[in-house]
Amino acid sequence: MDINGFNRAIGSYAAVDVPKKVREIHQKVALEALKSLVMKTRVRTGRARGNWQVENDNRPAAALLTTDKDGQSTIQRGLTTIVQVRPFSVTYITNNVRYIVFLEDGRGSFAGDHMMARTIEEVKRMFR
């Protein structure tokens, strides 16, 4: 292979294979994070669990009126967004119910669940 052939091969790899791999890893990380967050969210009415929202390149700003006690429809809804991710983009996983911070961090005698902090650590270990 001459230098021009080598440069074409590297260029093709960088243009096609790298973005494809980045997209695959991005999807896996986002899906594992979503599943973990949803399933770690405490359930009373299912509103907090049902309010995990996923958007690519745009952070959701409003709370939903959705409830989802078992979490499966929330994960499925998020998956439909995750599969559409573009390479090198950002996926936001957000929960906008007013009390999500109290569920995460606790307040007074109410112990927080730390679902976000725990999920971040789990995903970091999974994809090292």
Q: pLDDT at position 91, please? A: 98
CA 116 to chain centre: 11
Amino acid 81: pLDDT: 98
Domain contains 65: yes
Cβ-proximal residues to 48 (8 Å cutoff; 6+ apart), any chain:
41, 42, 95, 97, 99, 100, 103
Supply the range of the domain harboring residue 88.
25-126
What pLDDT is recorded for position 12? 87
In a domain, 36, yes or no: yes
User: What is the pLDDT at residue 93?
Assistant: 98
Inter-axis angle of helices 18-40 and 72-82, to 10 degrees? 160
Q: Quote the pLDDT of residue 1.
A: 81
- Evaluate whether residue 5 is within a structural domain: no
HEC profile for the chain? CCHHHHHHHHHHHHHHHHHHHHHHHHHHHHHHHHHHHHHHCCCCCCHHHHCEEEEECCCCCCCCCCCCCCCHHHHHHHHHHHCCCCCCCCEEEEECCCCHHHHHHEECCEECCCHHHHHHHHHHHHCC
How many CA atoms within 13 Å lie on the side-chain side of 28? Answer: 11
Tokens (6 digits) for 90: 């950002």
- Please give the pLDDT value at position 110: 83
Domain membership flag for residue 37: yes
Residue 127 is predicted with a pLDDT of 87
In a domain, 47, yes or no: yes
Number of domains in the chain: 1
Ranges of the chain with pLDDT below 70: none
The answer to whether position 1 is within a domain reads no
Residue 2 lies in a domain: no
- Domain membership flag for residue 57: yes
